[in-house]
Amino acid sequence: MDLGPLEIVVILAVVIMIFGVGKLPQVGSALGNSIREFRKASTGDEDVPQIGESKPAPPAIPSRDAYCTQCGIAVSPDVRFCTACGHSVTRATGS
């Protein structure tokens, strides 16, 4: 199905009349998210990152000796700054 320029203009005019000019960005965003979710569901790819998606947080290193003051994850006791966010590391004192 090949739409000509006149059909595209008519469709755009109807969409503007229905939703209004102020809602067009929200409608476009919702349509894009719907298409992205449909593609993800139809291909079965759950691990493919999409444009604009944030990366998952790095796994915490199991250690009781040091933790990040910003994000709170445990870090290796020999580092001075968090590998996830770059903030300073607080050393645990005591036994």
User: What per-residue confidence (pLDDT) applies to 7?
Assistant: 92
CA distance 8 to 79: 59
11 has a pLDDT exceeding 80: yes
Tokens in use for 62? 């199991």
Cite the beta strand spans of the chain per DSSP E: 66-68, 74-75, 89-91
pLDDT one-digit tens code per residue, 47-79: 556 666 666 666 654 545 677 777 777 777 777
**Can you spell out the DSSP letters for 9-26?**
HHHHHHHHHHH-GGGHHH
Evaluate the CA torsion angle 40, 41, 43, 48 in order and state its sign: positive
* Residue 77 per-residue DSSP state: T
Q: What is the pTM of this model?
A: 0.35
